[in-house]
Amino acid sequence: MEIPEDSLFGVDNLPYGVFAPAGDALRVGVRVADKVIDLAAALEDPVFAQPNLNALLAQGPRRWREVRHRVRELVDGEIDATAIHELAAVRLALPIQVGDYVDFYASIDHATNLGRLFRPDAEPLLPNWRHLPVGYHGRAGTVVVSGTDVVRPRGQRRTDSGTPDFGPSRRLDIETELGFVVGVGSALGTPIGVDEFADHVFGVALVNDWSARDIQAWEYQPLGPFLGKSFATSLSAWVTPLAALEKARIPIPEQTPEPLPYLRGDEPRGLDIDLTVTWNGQDVAHPPYRRMYWSPAQMLAHLTANGASTRTGDLFASGTISGPEPEQRGSFIELSWGGSQPVDVNGEKRTFLADGDEVVITATAPGPHGNRIGLGEVAGRIRPSNGR
């Protein structure tokens, strides 16, 4: 296969997805440059003739390594032309059957920004934040593949009268996130240790956890996010295996105070990933994942610390990725500072999402030869509310 030297999807990457050629059934593929390799045809293995990645994920790390090695051999050698499809000519689907979905709050910059917005006269971080990866259990049934339109949600909103009203969200927002896909699950009552992360997690994918800030602000106390989050979460069509991100592994920032023993270990490392948020075609933010305070391994360890089980296809996400600079903020509530500092988008002053707006999030990471690899994109366009 001919791969351009500057391609973000060369042999060092090889992300997995689920696709369908025109008029045909869904099956598992690997992206190479602007092509998709049909693994069911190329490897003649029925595990790839499935409408999601779950069967492959459940086979575990040894099998993941074997398949990646075999795919690299195919790309470097010869592949039957009938197993190669143009990316532009296929339909992409949700890559996994999502079992459970958990969203964390792991960026110290994002948490600090929201603390300053919501509690200007108090400490921005709540007392528990530096001791545990804060998170909430989301709704797996509303995780949708990149490119799916998002209908503006409806819910209760606070009013000056003290009595809420009901209607479409007026403060619809994004959350720029990185998601982690569980391959091998764990039994009920058996926590996953920090250093067991790679035994269970297959790879990463971009996430946009759409958020209705006005609905969320009224409902979230005392039990946390509900209707303000559960209407849609967008997931990239491509899952990048952890094996492709070895050169992106870096130490996480210093954690003070030192976490409790179950959150320590050799594995609490972060990822050097650069993200870009594009709003109606204009780049508006560049969040850096390297700033995340809690590592993916610590998130998984905390998620299961109480004995909660995990399953193949479970998805957990990082929470909004933000940095210390204004142009590094991964949500519009931060970029516009709660709506008080509008953002210039194609010459128009904007705060939150309007109907018809499109948001595209992309990311790259260091490759093994001084190159960059791509994590695809997660995109969505806002449609008007269709509620009553």
* Residue 388 predicted with pLDDT over 80: no
Q: Is 246 annotated as a binding residue?
A: no
Is 86 one of the annotated binding-site residues? no
Please write the tens of the pLDDT for every residue from 63-74.
Answer: 999 999 999 999
Q: In this structure, how many other beta carbons lie within 10 angstroms of the beta carbon of residue 332?
A: 29
Whose tokens are 């069967």? That residue is 55
139 shares a domain with 78:
no
81 and 160 share one domain: no
Residue 5 lies in a domain: no
How far apart are the C-alpha atoms of 210 and 383, rounded to whole Å?
13
Both 42 and 182 in one domain: the answer is: no
Position 387 pLDDT exceeds 70:
no
Verify that 211 and 307 share a domain, yes or no.
yes
For 60, other C-beta atoms within 10 Å of its C-beta total 15
Which of 93, 114, 147 delimits the end of a domain? 93
Q: How far apart are CA 332 and CA 353, in angstroms?
A: 8
Average pLDDT over residues 329-334: 98
- Give the residue-averaged pLDDT of 316-321: 98
Which of the listed residues 93, 118, 152 is the one where a domain comes to its end?
Answer: 93
Final residue of a structural domain among 66, 93, 120: 93
Q: Are residues 80 and 128 in the same domain?
A: no
Query: How confident is residue 231, by pLDDT bands cut at 50, 70 and 90?
Result: very high
Question: Has residue 227 been placed in a domain?
Answer: yes
What is the per-residue pLDDT across 9-53, written as a single tens digit (0 to 9) for each? Answer: 999 999 999 999 998 999 999 999 999 999 999 999 999 999 999
Q: Is 250 within a domain? A: yes
Residue 229 is labelled as binding a ligand: yes
The pLDDT value recorded for residue 126 is: 95
Q: What is the mean pLDDT of residues 191-212?
A: 98
Neighbours of 66 (CB within 10 A): 11
Q: Are residues 43 and 136 in the same domain?
A: no
Same structural domain for residues 79 and 178?
Answer: no
- Residue 79 sits in a domain of what CATH number? 2.30.30.230
290 is in an annotated binding site: no
Average pLDDT, the chain: 96
Which residues constitute the domain of residue 112?
101-383
Percent of the chain surpassing pLDDT 90: 95
**Contact by Cβ (8 Å): 204, 374:** no
pLDDT at 386: 86
Which residue numbers are catalytic? Answer: 110
**Looking at the domain assignment, is residue 3 inside a domain?**
no
> Do 70 and 182 sit in the same domain of this protein?
no
Strand partners, 178: 206
In the structure, what pLDDT confidence band is assigned to residue 293 with cuts at 50, 70 and 90? very high
Q: Are 348 and 115 in contact (CB under 8 A)?
A: no
Supply the CATH number for residue 200's domain. 3.90.850.10
| 73-93: pLDDT as tens digits | 999 998 999 999 999 999 999
Write out pLDDT tens, residues 150-196: 999 999 999 999 899 999 999 999 999 999 999 999 999 999 999 99
How many whole angstroms separate alpha carbon 295 and alpha carbon 132?
Answer: 11
Straight-line distance from the first to the last Cα atom of the chain, in angstroms, rounded to the nearest whole number? 53
* pLDDT at residue number 20: 98
Do residues 115 and 82 both lie within one domain? no
d(CA 158, CA 218): 6
Beta bridge mates, 145: 235
78 shares a domain with 126: no
User: To the nearest 10°, the Cα dihedral for 338, 344, 350, 356?
Assistant: -140
Mean pLDDT to the nearest integer, 214-240 = 95
Distance CA 174, CA 344 (A): 17
Quote the pLDDT of residue 218.
Answer: 94
Torsion of CA 20, 21, 27, 32, to 10 degrees: -100
Would you give the DSSP letter of residue 310? B
Provide the 3-class DSSP secondary structure of residue 212.
strand
In tens, the pLDDT along 28-40 reads 999 999 999 999 9
Q: What is the pLDDT of residue 209?
A: 98
Q: What is the pTM of this model?
A: 0.97
Residues 185, 56 within the same domain: no
Query: How many domains does the structure of the chain reveal?
Result: 2
Are both 71 and 188 inside the same structural domain? no
Where does residue 198 rank: exposed (0-12), middle (13-18), buried (19+ CB within 10 A)? middle
**For residue 368, cis peptide bond before it (omega within 30 degrees of 0):** no
Q: Is 177 annotated as a binding residue?
A: yes
Task: Please write the tens of the pLDDT for every residue from 125-155.
Answer: 999 999 999 999 999 999 999 999 999 999 9
